[in-house]
Amino acid sequence: MRKLVSLAAPLLLLACQDWPEPVIRSVSPPEMRASEATALALDTELILPATVDYSKGTLEVDTRVSVRIGTLEVPTLAVSPEGVISTRVPSVLAPGSYTVKVTLGDGRTAERPGGLTVVEGEWPEGYTIDPIGPQKRLVPFTLTVRATGAGAAAFRGNVRLETGVGSSVGPRVSEPFVDGVLTQQVVVDSTLADMAIRVTDIAGHVVTSNTFLLQ
């Protein structure tokens, strides 16, 4: 996203200078459980790239900021004026240590090796999917998935959503469960009339919905 702002002459001179590389000062929290979606705050030093229009006295600021945890791209929810980047990491990472990387719109990057550690989590024993009736291609409908087993009501993680070859479902990663239940709007596309949705997690649990008609 680019944002146009009016600036005084002294600030226009600043825009002509080489932009310094961003720096990640800290990641908070530095640790998350593998089974729980976790909000992160990245405390950074960054100057967003900008283009000066001297004739109009304006500065076009490129506000694009992307974040990766290892190879996983996570959403940039907000960037504060102080340089704090807010994001959320879904429960799709295996336990281990991950590099946190920030990339600005002009390609400048900052990395913090080992910035996030994922530890073992507590997963439900499995999942059930509420019956799915006939649906239309590319028309959103509600998918309901329920965690099962002891402690299922405390599950606040994410699962992956999949379909068969030649088909697609979006999103591929669910929203977090709330009190052990996922209620998610999904969209399915396929050349096949008979369809099913498969739910998986990184702990190896797999469940498949009933076969439903896709019109």
All structural domains of the chain: 2-119 (2.60.40.10), 126-213 (2.60.40.10)
The C-alpha atoms of residue 2 and residue 169 are separated, in whole angstroms, by 31
| Residue labelled with tokens 């992956």 | 160
Helices (H), the chain: 9-15
The per-residue pLDDT of the chain, averaged, comes to: 91
Residue 5 has pLDDT above 80, yes or no: no
Residue 3 has pLDDT above 70, yes or no: no
Q: What are 41-92's pLDDT values in tens digits? A: 999 999 888 777 777 777 788 889 999 999 999 999 999 989 999 999 999 9
Q: Are 121 and 157 in contact (CB under 8 A)?
A: yes
Q: Are 159 and 176 in contact (CB under 8 A)?
A: no
Instruction: Give pTM, 2 decimals.
Output: 0.84
Q: What are 162-198's pLDDT values in tens digits? A: 998 889 999 999 999 999 999 999 999 999 999 999 9
Task: Give the CA distances from residue 139 to residues 89, 183, 213, in Å, rounded to whole numbers and listed in that order.
Answer: 27, 16, 13
Residue 118 has pLDDT above 60, yes or no: yes
